[in-house]
Amino acid sequence: MESELSGEVVVVGGGVIGLTTAVVLAERGRRVRVWTRDPVERTTSAVAGALWWPYRIRPVAAARAWALRSLDVYEQLAADPDRTGVRMVEGVLGEEELDDGFDWLTTRLPGLRAVTSEEYAGTGLWARLPLVDMAAHLPWLRRRFTAAGGVVETRTVSDLKEVEAPVVVNCTGLGARELAADASVVPVRGQLVVVENPGIRTWVVSTGADGEMAYFFPQPGRLLLGGTAVEDAWSTEPDPAVAEAIVRRCAALRPEIAGARVLGHRVGLRPARDAVRLERELLSDGRVLVHNYGHGGAGVTVAWGCAEEAAGLAASA
């Protein structure tokens, strides 16, 4: 048992999935290195709006379990928001109703209820959910990892099977399309507009009558406006016309947004797949490769649940 726990693990990928998995492994006594092509501040995770909600993720039953476990962790982290970047914030999930398959959440989120007409013009749910400031959370994860003895290395990997470690954990997100030869992983392009916050304290996620998504998330010192979900779009350059439309849709929900000063633009490519791949593969030389990718836009939502399951698969090496 002691030799197993001391075996080295290399986690490939430094986004929220990779770092969270590395934290769990390191805190369970493994010697862990994270290999990341980009600094955490330049990963796809850094662009995320990062509201806890199981958004477009399968398999449904597993995703719910991963999400609930992650919710437990985020509620604890929200006790120290300045350090962890996690806060519990109230807001509206537009165009949702309690009878739309939310039985698994109603007991866990006792405050989940239908909106009032003053809160939202239409059907929707009022909820208090974790909202994660990724600019603070990713560096905090990295510090927690290194405090547990982990090491972060800037490395570009061209072949997972060539990573020299007894256990390799593949948390490469969209990179798994090439590294795991998995063509089912596709980008879902998301664009955000960052503006000065005109005093908004609650979040809204809405799908209007035109079917276009609009959301805004208050983060420290700014307000994130979104957004888009364009499948198989690879450009990471902000589109000015899309940015204008995002501001227009959000201002339709809260008119004061229309005059907010724009601070910047963000584009991220969510690593989507028909279902999350979380499984253990035995390589021909006896080493173990654990896959943990394909979370789409719900990586933050399921990060801790998936990390613990991935760590369990790595422990069986």
Binding residues: 44-45, 157, 172, 215, 270, 296-301
Distance from C-alpha of 201 to C-alpha of 71, rounded to nearest angstrom: 21
Nearest CA-CA partner of 95 in 211, 188, 189: 211
According to DSSP, the residues that pair with 169 across neighbouring strands are: 11, 290
Strand partners, 204: 92, 216
| Annotated binding-site ranges for FAD | 44-45, 157, 172, 296-301
Kind of pairing, strands 262-272 and 186-195?
antiparallel
Residues that constitute the known binding site for D-dopa? 215, 270, 297
**Distance (Å, rounded) from C-alpha 290 to C-alpha 275?**
16
Distance CA 134, CA 137 (A): 5
Half-sphere exposure of 8 (CA within 13 A, CB side): 10
* Alpha carbon 203 to its chain's center: 17
